[in-house]
Amino acid sequence: MLEFKSFASGSAGNLNTLSDGEGTYIMLDCGLPWRKVRKMLNFKTSEFSGICLTHHHKDHSAGIADAVRAGVDVYLLPETSEALGLEGHRVHEITLLDQFKIGTFQVKAFPLEHDAPNCGFLFVNGEGEKAVYITDTAYCRFVFPPLSIIAVGVNYSLDILRANVASGVVSSELKRRIIQAHMSLQTLKDFFVANDLSSVREIWLLHGSASNLDKKDAKQQVQAWTGKPVYV
């Protein structure tokens, strides 16, 4: 059975994992120094079949160069590989919407809307269970087959962001960047409406802003919208 875990989420660094229940473990982003990653994962990084990297921003990629040097395979967009200066046989450049395999997982990357080349990932295990990982995007244009796990970045609530701009906590320039590159709680609701949630076992809300999102309220709202267990 699929199992998702979040060890770090936010602008200080992102580290998540997905296992298939059959011995394949994948890291989803690697946005902390490698020594911290190894400690968080109980020094079992050699058991991982690979890292799926969404984009080159440091809070998602800080440990990736050391991961490659440590012998971990990394799957990423060519633009991300170039931006990070990665090379070698452990670096696997992927093509959007083309399926590839990591261990027992079938994986497909799809484009997202950010201020850098970015992608999400759809995973299917040997039993046909599906998980999707989406982060750092203004919205997701795709509708997915029935999913077991949804892990999605929701950065801000538009009402809180507007209040922070009005009070001077957030500049108008920063507001524009946030809106253009990150998902709002309101847009997330549209995503849930568009997708079939009948098979969903759990929803993970990732990458929430400390100042522009009330995470407790977001969790309660998503639970009310979906009727599913929600983790923040």
Q: Which domains does the chain have, with CATH numbers?
A: 3-231 (3.60.15.10)
Q: Specify whether the CB–CB gap between 165 and 172 falls below 8 A.
A: yes
Other residues' Cβ atoms within 10 Å of the Cβ of residue 17: 18
**pLDDT, position 22:** 83
Helix (H) or strand (E) holding 221: helix 215-226
At 117, list the tokens: 């080349």
User: Would you report the helix, strand and coil content of the chain in percent, each value rounded to 5?
Assistant: 30, 25, 45
Q: Which pLDDT does position 201 carry in this prediction?
A: 98
- Residue 11 in contact with residue 208, Cβ under 8 Å? no
Backbone phi, psi, residue 28, to 5°: -110, 105
User: DSSP label at 62?
Assistant: T
Q: Residues 159-214: pLDDT tens digits?
A: 999 999 999 999 999 999 999 999 999 999 999 999 999 999 999 999 999 999 99
pTM value surpassing 0.85? yes
Residues in the chain where the model's pLDDT stays below 70: none
Strands lying side by side in the sheet with 3-8: 3-8, 15-19, 25-30, 50-52, 74-76, 91-93
